[in-house]
Amino acid sequence: MPEYLDFNSDSDKFNQNKRFRLRLYIAFLFTLILFAILIARMTQLQWLEHERYKGLAEGNRISIETLPPTRGKIFDRNHILLADNQPVYALKLIREKMENIDSANLAIQVILNNVEPKRVHDFFEKFKKRNRSKSYTLPFTLSEEQAAQFSVISHKHPGVTLSARLKRTYPYGATAVHALGYVGRINQKELKNLDPKEYRGTDIIGKSGIEKYYESTLHGLPGIQQIETNVRGRVLRKLETLPATPGEDIHLTLDIKLQQFAESLMGEMRGSIIAINPQNGEVLAFVSTPVFDPNLFVDGIDHKSYNALLNDPNRPFINRAINGRYPPGSTTKPFMALGAIENNFISPNKKIYDPGFLVYKDHRYRDWKRRGHGLVDMNKAIVESCDTYFYELSLDMGIDNIHAALSPFGFGEYTGIDIHGESKGILPSQKWKKEVKGKSWFRGETIISSIGQGYNLTTPLQLARATAILANRGKIIRPHLVRSHKTETLDQIEIKKISNWEKVITSMENVMHSKKGTARKHAMHLPFKMAGKTGTAQVFSLNAGDYDAETLDKKLHDHSLFIGFAPVNNPKIAISVIAENSGSGSKTAAPIGVKVIEQFLKIYYSDTYYPEQDSVNQREN
């Protein structure tokens, strides 16, 4: 054998192997000794002390039960309840204790007359394969009547018990669903990232909106209870208890009455309304339509209803307020004008002649008014929404100066609102196009950018925030939905000449109140002065995936936009309205915006603006 010869010829290596093997023997001996210690320990537990532990096991009547925390409630700003916990009845099943599983299945199918029998049956099919000794809750709630029906026959079905638990309910239904969000059953993915200790006994979690963002605040911490049971597992008495810490209640900045009013104004239209208190960033109304009922999701929505919502061409799940990206259209003009006069690209009094179009590189950029506006200064350009004026201006400024002037208002950036899923929108610049599209900027694109078309995309919330910052004369605010949400002190946009700001704001006031203003007919009756700007955004391109012959025509209609705030000199509310494919801004969005502002001032400032009315009637609580 060559191996053997090798060792003989090299006594050093032989010695090496010998010493290694010695250590192997020692290690194995060590292993055996420690295993022997384990066996000794087991002998002690299982043989010598067996009687004692057997006794303990039989009398093992102290078990630990988790007390799930009560989820915090959500209120509106006037302490009106928006998300509540209602006691409901449910059935708990333990397979080990059940005598006839099929008869229980049938009995439950009969009692749950509002649920498709197949869904109960499907639950039972799954249940049969799961842990025999664990208790599972039937995912359907029982009405009080059904609970009573079951109590009558419960003695025939051991292992099935009626239990009361708290179920999340949203008394206002679909109202404000995109702000409030909803809870649903914890899924596998969420489970992985949760602390199992904190969620023991809890099977729901915030899925969207406030319910998700403030999950840790709302959830609370579970408690523990020692329960003494008899051998068959029946509860004899409750011993030591560590009570659960309930989740904290949350007060929103929303006014649910204003919210309902605003939603009703949207009717069947798709779109969004955002109302903000410009002084502190509190969101007063947060509308995204169409809406859906969050109550459907709490106990798990059935496939049919879910698919119906998911495939609804109006896309109710999309939170248009923060995730809808729209060309801002002419609502961008006040910000453009302010940027131009603050940075001395034009004097507010300088007049430009508008023949109804601008020619640049053989291309004719048309004004919305075919015959043109004639001689136009800044005020007239905003009041009549003259496009040519801004086309000219944009060529003087260039896209990067426009970007620099508009970005302090928060265009193209997250607003930082306290719900998830916000979109950034787009405020284009040369750098942006290079990075995202990989192409150089064309000056023609600057021209269409100046009237909020082209690459420009903004969310309704961004638009409302920018309006609020303008109303504030440059004080930056961060929109938020929860009253106690702490916002850091934010900057003030640098003001070069305050009169420039006042001039732009006066022009916006003229949009509403002067003879030529695009929204004059909607604001005539108001007892206060407001500022506003209408916008009509062309829908340039269609998403190829959304192509649908029947709805194509409608989807090509213009978006209708409006921004505004009131009162002009002491702004209490700033607003943005976007109604998809609903025509011109002055026709659709402006009256909605005016009504919401009016309603708000009626509720909160009736003494000042509506002294003849009975204020008690208007104000809740």
Partner 1 sequence: MKINNIQTQQVYRKNKGFLETIHIDGWLLLGILLLLATSVAIVYSASGGDEAVMTRQIIRIGFALTLMLLFAQIPPNILYIFTPWLFLLGIIMLISVLLFGQIGKGAQRWLDIGPVRFQPSELMKLILPMTVAWLFAHSQYPPSVSRLILGTVLIAFTGSLIVVQPDLGTSLLIGLSGLSVLFFAGLPWKVIFTAIAGVVLSAPIAWHFMHAYQKQRVLTFLTPESDPLGSGYHIIQSKIAIGSGGIDGKGYMGSTQAHLEFLPESTTDFIFSVLAEEFGLLGVIGLLMLYSFVIARGLYIASQAQDNFTRLIAAGFMMTLFVYIFVNIGMVSGLLPVVGLPLPLMSYGGSSLVTLMISFGILMSIHTHKKLLTK
Q: Which residues bind partner 1 (CB under 8 A)?
A: 2, 12, 15-16, 19-21, 23-24, 27-28, 31-32, 34-35, 37-39, 41-43, 45-47, 49-50, 52-54, 56-58, 60, 63-64, 96, 129-134, 192-193, 195-196, 224, 226, 233, 240, 242
Return phi, psi of residue 324, to 5°.
Answer: -80, 130
As measured in angstroms, the least distance from the Cβ of 186 to partner 1 is 15
Distance, CA of 242 to CA of 405 (rounded, Å): 58
How far the first Cα of the chain sits from its last, in Å, is 101
Distance, CA of 485 to CA of 503 (rounded, Å): 34
Task: For Cα atoms 201, 202, 206, give the angle at the middle one, nearest 5 degrees.
Answer: 170
As measured in angstroms, the least distance from the Cβ of 248 to partner 1 is 22
As measured in angstroms, the least distance from the Cβ of 19 to partner 1 is 5
Task: For Cα atoms 583, 586, 286, give the angle at the middle one, nearest 5 degrees.
Answer: 85
Q: Verify whether residue 330 is a known catalytic residue.
A: yes
Decide: 287 and 266 in contact? Cβ < 8 Å: yes
Rank residues 135 and 618 by Cβ distance to partner 1 and give the closer one.
135
Looking at residue 314, the DSSP 8-state letter turns out to be T
Cα 136 to the center of its chain, rounded Å: 31
Distance, CA of 531 to CA of 376 (rounded, Å): 20
Rank residues 191 and 498 by Cβ distance to partner 1 and give the closer one.
191
Distance, CA of 342 to CA of 497 (rounded, Å): 7
Rank residues 231 and 549 by Cβ distance to partner 1 and give the closer one.
231
As measured in angstroms, the least distance from the Cβ of 128 to partner 1 is 9
Q: How many CB atoms lie within 10 A of CB 133?
A: 9
Distance, CA of 380 to CA of 374 (rounded, Å): 10
Closest of 438, 48, 418 to residue 213, by C-alpha: 418
Closest of 168, 177, 171 to residue 203, by C-alpha: 168
Indicate which residue of 330, 582, 584, 606 is catalytic: 330
Return phi, psi of residue 240, to 5°.
Answer: -65, 140
Rank residues 134 and 363 by Cβ distance to partner 1 and give the closer one.
134
Question: At a CB cut-off of 8 Å and minimum separation 6, what does 301 contact?
Answer: 184
As measured in angstroms, the least distance from the Cβ of 323 to partner 1 is 25
Rank residues 245 and 538 by Cβ distance to partner 1 and give the closer one.
245
Rank residues 42 and 359 by Cβ distance to partner 1 and give the closer one.
42
Element (H, E) at 565: strand 559-566
Residue 234, token pair as written in the block: 């029946």
Rank residues 19 and 350 by Cβ distance to partner 1 and give the closer one.
19
As measured in angstroms, the least distance from the Cβ of 247 to partner 1 is 20
Which residues are tagged catalytic?
A: 330
